[in-house]
Amino acid sequence: MATSRKRVADYEHSEATRLNNPPAGLTQEDIAPPPTRSFATTPADCVPTMVTGGEWLVSYPAACTLDCHIEFLPDASGGDAAVRAEFEAWIASAAAADPWLRDNPPRMEWLLGAVPSAEIAPSEPVVETLVGVERDLGRSGRIGGRDNWHDGATLVVEAGIPAVCYGAGDIFLAHGADERVPIDELVACAQGIAVAAMRFCGAKGGRA
Protein backbone atom coordinates (compact mmCIF):
# COMPACT_ATOMS: atom_id res chain seq x y z
CA MET A 1 0.00 0.00 0.00
CA ALA A 2 2.99 2.31 0.37
CA THR A 3 3.25 2.40 -3.39
CA SER A 4 -0.37 3.48 -3.70
CA ARG A 5 0.03 6.30 -1.20
CA LYS A 6 3.20 7.49 -2.91
CA ARG A 7 1.44 7.45 -6.26
CA VAL A 8 -1.38 9.60 -4.87
CA ALA A 9 1.14 11.97 -3.28
CA ASP A 10 3.07 12.25 -6.54
CA TYR A 11 -0.17 12.96 -8.38
CA GLU A 12 -1.18 15.67 -5.91
CA HIS A 13 2.30 17.22 -6.13
CA SER A 14 2.21 17.21 -9.94
CA GLU A 15 -1.23 18.83 -9.87
CA ALA A 16 0.01 21.59 -7.58
CA THR A 17 3.02 22.15 -9.84
CA ARG A 18 0.81 22.28 -12.93
CA LEU A 19 -1.62 24.76 -11.40
CA ASN A 20 1.17 27.04 -10.22
CA ASN A 21 3.08 26.83 -13.51
CA PRO A 22 0.56 26.73 -16.37
CA PRO A 23 1.78 25.84 -19.88
CA ALA A 24 2.79 28.62 -22.24
CA GLY A 25 -0.17 30.60 -23.52
CA LEU A 26 -2.44 29.64 -20.63
CA THR A 27 -3.26 31.31 -17.33
CA GLN A 28 -4.06 29.77 -13.97
CA GLU A 29 -7.72 30.58 -14.62
CA ASP A 30 -7.60 28.49 -17.82
CA ILE A 31 -6.56 25.30 -16.04
CA ALA A 32 -7.87 25.68 -12.49
CA PRO A 33 -11.14 23.99 -11.42
CA PRO A 34 -14.18 26.30 -11.36
CA PRO A 35 -14.46 28.11 -8.00
CA THR A 36 -17.99 26.74 -7.53
CA ARG A 37 -16.63 23.22 -7.01
CA SER A 38 -15.35 22.02 -3.68
CA PHE A 39 -13.38 19.18 -5.28
CA ALA A 40 -10.40 19.34 -7.59
CA THR A 41 -10.52 17.96 -11.11
CA THR A 42 -7.97 18.17 -13.86
CA PRO A 43 -8.63 20.59 -16.75
CA ALA A 44 -10.14 19.63 -20.09
CA ASP A 45 -7.78 17.20 -21.77
CA CYS A 46 -7.25 15.30 -25.00
CA VAL A 47 -5.96 11.76 -24.48
CA PRO A 48 -4.64 9.90 -27.58
CA THR A 49 -5.84 6.32 -27.09
CA MET A 50 -5.40 4.41 -30.40
CA VAL A 51 -3.11 4.72 -33.40
CA THR A 52 -3.73 2.61 -36.52
CA GLY A 53 -2.20 2.67 -39.99
CA GLY A 54 -0.51 0.71 -42.73
CA GLU A 55 -1.56 -2.07 -45.06
CA TRP A 56 1.49 -4.31 -45.31
CA LEU A 57 4.79 -4.81 -43.52
CA VAL A 58 7.02 -3.52 -46.37
CA SER A 59 4.81 -0.69 -47.68
CA TYR A 60 4.63 2.93 -46.68
CA PRO A 61 1.26 3.43 -44.99
CA ALA A 62 -1.32 5.27 -47.08
CA ALA A 63 -2.98 6.72 -44.01
CA CYS A 64 -2.80 6.93 -40.24
CA THR A 65 -5.72 7.22 -37.85
CA LEU A 66 -5.39 8.66 -34.37
CA ASP A 67 -8.29 8.16 -31.96
CA CYS A 68 -8.54 10.55 -29.03
CA HIS A 69 -10.73 10.85 -25.97
CA ILE A 70 -11.56 14.43 -24.97
CA GLU A 71 -12.35 14.98 -21.31
CA PHE A 72 -14.13 18.12 -20.12
CA LEU A 73 -16.35 19.19 -17.24
CA PRO A 74 -20.14 19.01 -17.61
CA ASP A 75 -20.56 22.78 -17.42
CA ALA A 76 -17.96 23.59 -20.07
CA SER A 77 -18.92 26.84 -21.75
CA GLY A 78 -20.96 26.08 -24.87
CA GLY A 79 -21.18 22.38 -24.11
CA ASP A 80 -20.18 19.56 -26.44
CA ALA A 81 -20.47 21.61 -29.66
CA ALA A 82 -18.14 24.31 -28.34
CA VAL A 83 -15.57 21.75 -27.19
CA ARG A 84 -15.60 20.12 -30.63
CA ALA A 85 -15.21 23.47 -32.40
CA GLU A 86 -12.32 24.47 -30.14
CA PHE A 87 -10.54 21.15 -30.71
CA GLU A 88 -10.99 21.36 -34.49
CA ALA A 89 -9.61 24.91 -34.51
CA TRP A 90 -6.65 23.79 -32.41
CA ILE A 91 -5.82 20.94 -34.81
CA ALA A 92 -6.24 23.21 -37.85
CA SER A 93 -3.92 25.79 -36.32
CA ALA A 94 -1.24 23.17 -35.62
CA ALA A 95 -1.56 21.72 -39.13
CA ALA A 96 -1.23 25.17 -40.71
CA ALA A 97 2.16 25.56 -39.03
CA ASP A 98 3.53 22.43 -40.71
CA PRO A 99 4.52 22.60 -44.43
CA TRP A 100 3.21 19.12 -45.29
CA LEU A 101 0.09 19.16 -43.11
CA ARG A 102 -0.77 22.61 -44.47
CA ASP A 103 -1.31 21.01 -47.89
CA ASN A 104 -2.66 17.74 -46.48
CA PRO A 105 -4.77 18.75 -43.48
CA PRO A 106 -6.03 16.00 -41.18
CA ARG A 107 -9.68 15.02 -41.51
CA MET A 108 -11.67 14.76 -38.30
CA GLU A 109 -14.68 12.58 -37.57
CA TRP A 110 -16.74 12.52 -34.38
CA LEU A 111 -17.94 9.07 -33.42
CA LEU A 112 -21.40 8.29 -32.13
CA GLY A 113 -21.75 6.80 -28.67
CA ALA A 114 -19.57 9.27 -26.80
CA VAL A 115 -18.78 8.81 -23.12
CA PRO A 116 -20.30 12.00 -21.67
CA SER A 117 -19.26 13.95 -18.62
CA ALA A 118 -21.90 14.30 -15.92
CA GLU A 119 -22.60 15.85 -12.54
CA ILE A 120 -25.49 15.67 -10.09
CA ALA A 121 -26.40 17.84 -7.11
CA PRO A 122 -25.38 16.82 -3.57
CA SER A 123 -29.04 17.25 -2.63
CA GLU A 124 -30.16 14.32 -4.81
CA PRO A 125 -31.81 11.63 -2.63
CA VAL A 126 -29.40 8.94 -3.82
CA VAL A 127 -26.44 11.10 -2.76
CA GLU A 128 -27.90 12.05 0.63
CA THR A 129 -28.82 8.43 1.33
CA LEU A 130 -25.39 7.05 0.51
CA VAL A 131 -23.56 9.82 2.39
CA GLY A 132 -25.77 9.23 5.42
CA VAL A 133 -25.05 5.50 5.37
CA GLU A 134 -21.32 6.09 5.10
CA ARG A 135 -21.35 8.40 8.11
CA ASP A 136 -23.50 6.01 10.13
CA LEU A 137 -20.93 3.33 9.39
CA GLY A 138 -18.23 5.56 10.85
CA ARG A 139 -16.72 6.59 7.55
CA SER A 140 -16.21 10.05 6.03
CA GLY A 141 -19.10 10.14 3.58
CA ARG A 142 -17.12 12.68 1.56
CA ILE A 143 -18.46 13.82 -1.82
CA GLY A 144 -15.89 14.27 -4.59
CA GLY A 145 -15.36 14.34 -8.32
CA ARG A 146 -13.27 12.25 -10.69
CA ASP A 147 -11.83 12.97 -14.09
CA ASN A 148 -12.16 9.33 -15.10
CA TRP A 149 -15.39 8.09 -16.71
CA HIS A 150 -17.88 5.59 -15.31
CA ASP A 151 -21.13 4.11 -16.63
CA GLY A 152 -23.25 6.20 -14.29
CA ALA A 153 -22.57 9.24 -16.48
CA THR A 154 -24.60 7.62 -19.27
CA LEU A 155 -27.56 7.19 -16.92
CA VAL A 156 -27.33 10.86 -15.92
CA VAL A 157 -26.95 12.30 -19.43
CA GLU A 158 -28.96 9.91 -21.58
CA ALA A 159 -31.76 8.87 -19.21
CA GLY A 160 -31.89 11.66 -16.62
CA ILE A 161 -31.33 9.18 -13.79
CA PRO A 162 -29.16 10.54 -10.94
CA ALA A 163 -26.25 8.14 -10.46
CA VAL A 164 -23.15 8.07 -8.28
CA CYS A 165 -19.78 6.36 -8.46
CA TYR A 166 -19.15 4.37 -5.28
CA GLY A 167 -16.76 1.53 -4.77
CA ALA A 168 -13.77 -0.05 -3.11
CA GLY A 169 -10.08 0.12 -3.90
CA ASP A 170 -7.57 2.66 -5.17
CA ILE A 171 -8.49 4.36 -8.47
CA PHE A 172 -4.78 4.64 -9.29
CA LEU A 173 -4.58 0.84 -9.45
CA ALA A 174 -7.53 0.44 -11.83
CA HIS A 175 -7.09 -1.13 -15.30
CA GLY A 176 -3.48 -2.07 -14.64
CA ALA A 177 -1.42 -5.25 -14.34
CA ASP A 178 -1.51 -5.00 -10.55
CA GLU A 179 -5.19 -4.04 -10.26
CA ARG A 180 -6.55 -5.30 -6.95
CA VAL A 181 -9.03 -4.52 -4.16
CA PRO A 182 -8.40 -5.28 -0.46
CA ILE A 183 -10.98 -7.76 0.85
CA ASP A 184 -11.90 -5.58 3.84
CA GLU A 185 -12.67 -2.66 1.51
CA LEU A 186 -14.77 -4.94 -0.71
CA VAL A 187 -16.79 -6.10 2.31
CA ALA A 188 -17.24 -2.52 3.55
CA CYS A 189 -18.38 -1.41 0.09
CA ALA A 190 -20.92 -4.26 -0.13
CA GLN A 191 -22.24 -3.27 3.29
CA GLY A 192 -22.62 0.36 2.23
CA ILE A 193 -24.43 -0.57 -1.00
CA ALA A 194 -26.78 -2.97 0.78
CA VAL A 195 -27.81 -0.55 3.52
CA ALA A 196 -28.09 2.40 1.12
CA ALA A 197 -30.28 0.37 -1.25
CA MET A 198 -32.59 -0.66 1.59
CA ARG A 199 -32.94 2.91 2.85
CA PHE A 200 -33.39 4.37 -0.61
CA CYS A 201 -36.13 1.87 -1.42
CA GLY A 202 -37.80 2.29 1.97
CA ALA A 203 -37.20 -1.32 3.05
CA LYS A 204 -37.42 -2.25 6.72
CA GLY A 205 -34.24 -3.01 8.57
CA GLY A 206 -32.05 -0.56 6.68
CA ARG A 207 -29.88 0.16 9.69
CA ALA A 208 -26.11 0.50 9.50
- Tell me, yes or no, whether 98 and 56 share the same domain: yes
- Tell me, yes or no, whether 92 and 137 share the same domain: no
- DSSP H helices, the chain, are 2-20, 28-31, 79-96, 99-103, 125-136, 152-159, 183-200
Task: Give the mean pLDDT of 83-106.
Answer: 92
* Overall pTM surpassing 0.85 (yes/no): no
Any idea which of 2-6, 15-19, 71-75, 94-98 has the lowest mean pLDDT?
Answer: 2-6
- Tell me, yes or no, whether 33 and 99 share the same domain: yes
What mean pLDDT value characterizes the chain? 79
Q: Which domain holds residue 130?
A: 125-200
Q: What is the largest CA-CA distance in the chain?
A: 71
Among positive and negative, which fits the CA dihedral 84, 86, 92, 97? negative
Residue 6 lies in a domain: no
Residue 67 lies in a domain: yes
Residues 121-172: tens digit of each pLDDT: 999 999 999 999 999 999 888 888 777 778 888 899 889 999 998 988 888 8
Residue 133 lies in a domain: yes
Residue 109 lies in a domain: no
